[in-house]
Structure 1
Amino acid sequence: MLVMEIYRSIQGEGSLMGVPTTFVRFFACNLRCSWCDTKYSWSVREGGSWETLSPATVAERVAALGARHVVLTGGEPTLQKELPQLATLLKAQGYHLTVETNATIFPALAVPLIDLWSLSPKLPSAGSGANYLRHPVIEQFLHSLEPEHQQWKFVVRDAHDEQALRSLLEAHPLFKERRLPIIVQPEGDAALSDYPAALAWLAERVRDPFWDQYNVRVLPQLHVLIWGRRRLV
């Protein structure tokens, strides 16, 4: 497995925000989001470096850090072919596992091994002229996961993003029918100069009656509020 870093911090995003967590960050991503905060995971040219580690070695390093919650992230962790083996080892040791993914790859063998899939399809601000949505893969996750094993996290930079998100939700009725957790958060670079204002703008958007049909919440990136764009936090 191509491992960039393993470190302990707190979960900064989603329903487990604030929970002490060990992060395993994998190298390589299949997207190139314009506002990505881990571009160093894309390539050597972007400053990336990694170790090639076996799942057993990754599990040993996770154990040394002590946190019960473990997040497998990237990059894009579903590119790692040994993800099911690592998940099996960590589950056997009693860890709660989250995978943070862009929801463009459906890793069938890993799906039942993960406690929480944090799924983050990308809206228009992620790529100028690029369409990073994979609707068939989104459907696979929607139909394969129980509600308690999924959260859908969307970075919303502007009104165009929010309208695209509405269209995505309407294209996949299970979001409404099953009241699946939907998290909207500001895009970090655009929000950093006035984070409260960025949160207030999102809060105003979700007051629209459209959102009454959905299980939506507005959340910040807690680690960005605490540490800014520092690495290993």
Structure 2
Amino acid sequence: MPPTDAPAIRVLVADDEHLVRAGIRLVLSNAVDIEIVAEAADGREAVELARRHHVDVALLDIRMPRLDGLAAAEQIAAAVPRTAVLMLTTFSDGENVSRALRAGAAGFLLKDTPPTELIQGVRAAAEGNAIVSPQITRRLLDQYLEGETARTQACERTSALTDRERAVLARVGTGLSNGEIAQELVVSEGTVKAYVSRILAKLGCENRVQAALLARDAGIRPEGRDVRPPEGDDVPTPRRQDVREREHQDVREPGPP
């Protein structure tokens, strides 16, 4: 039990559901060293109240109207750096956890966290410590391991691609059409179509969506929208060859799959 003469931890609770806020208030009222000084029903109100009251800890729901909890966490961290932000949610997906932590959140707790753990989490955040519920930690580890496996497999499957095929696959992964890829790589649309067919066959993919997902897992992405074809490539640019010569070269370039 913290010393009773210590200043109370000033807390802001933000959730668009009144019953949830009431439940959190009831739980935290059992701790003599914690005081709820403000409640918000949306993200914008949470940011405003955090600035006004200079709270020690802000408990934010992820999904709120007007401004979601993740965006609110970013704004609170920028406007009131001394305020520790704890995210409360029913979701434990890795993307939201990562974004919340990058935004400066001190921790991430599920809404079904036991009352004692919620109180301990508020105290830990007020002391400057990071807190992540065990369920979320396990989920993050599982996702990390799954991601590593998917990345390894994707890299193995794409290792046989040529530099040009990787350049085309990188742009398929960003959702570009054959015509858009042709413009970026300065080749004909027919050439791109031939490359895509060849890539699908090599990777064992049934369609572009599967190829795009594989490109993402393998970390294959274009360096920029103005990227030229890889050095040593024999597809000429309009500055050096006329269109007729280039088109002739493009048609014969891919070869049989």
TM-score by length of 1: 0.31
In our comparison, the structure showing a higher alpha carbon Rg is 2
* Larger RCO (CA under 8 A, 6+ residues apart): 1
- Write 1 or 2 for the structure with the bigger share of strand: 1
The answer to which structure has the higher helix fraction is: 2
